[in-house]
Amino acid sequence: DIVMTQSPDSLAVSLGERATINCKSSQSVLSSSNNRNSLAWYQQKPGQPPKLLITWASTRESGVPDRFSGSGSGTDFTLTISSLQAEDVAVYYCTQYFNIPWTFGQGTKVEIK
C-alpha cells in the first residue's frame, strides 16, 4: 500500500496569513499514461463529510476559492491556503488514487492563531 504522510499534524495561523500543508507518498503517484499526479486534497469541517478541494495535485474543483492551491509532483505535495479565513478552520487530508487501495494521509488540523 502507498503510505501518505502529512506534516504538520496541526498548525495555527493568523487570519490573512499563509498556511502550508505537506504530503509525502511512499512511492510516486505520477501516472505515465497521462503525466498527471493522482493526488487529491479534501477539507473536513466538524460534523460534516469531507469536501474535495483539489484533484491531480493542482486542479481546483469548481467553486473552491482561489486562495487554495496545490503543487508538487512524484512523492512530494503541498496544499497552500494563501490568506487564511475563519471558514478555513478544518482538517485537511491528502489522498492518492494511483493504486488500490486508495489511501489517505492522517490529516492536518488548521486553526486560527
Residue 62: CB minimum distance to another protein, A:
10
Q: Between 2 and 19, name the residue whose CB sits nearer to another protein.
A: 2
Which string of x and - marks every residue 61-90 that binds another protein (by CB under 8 A)? x-----------------------------
Cα dihedral across residues 10, 51, 6, 83: positive or negative: negative
Grid cell digits, residue 4: 501518505
Residue 110: CB minimum distance to another protein, A:
15
User: Which of 42, 68, 77, 92 lies at the binding interface for another protein (CB under 8 A)?
Assistant: 42
User: Which of 69, 100, 110, 112 lies at the binding interface for another protein (CB under 8 A)?
Assistant: 100
- Distance CA(57)–CA(85), nearest Å, equals 22
Query: Which phi and psi (to 5°) does residue 64 adopt?
Result: -80, 130
- Distance CA(103)–CA(2), nearest Å, equals 7
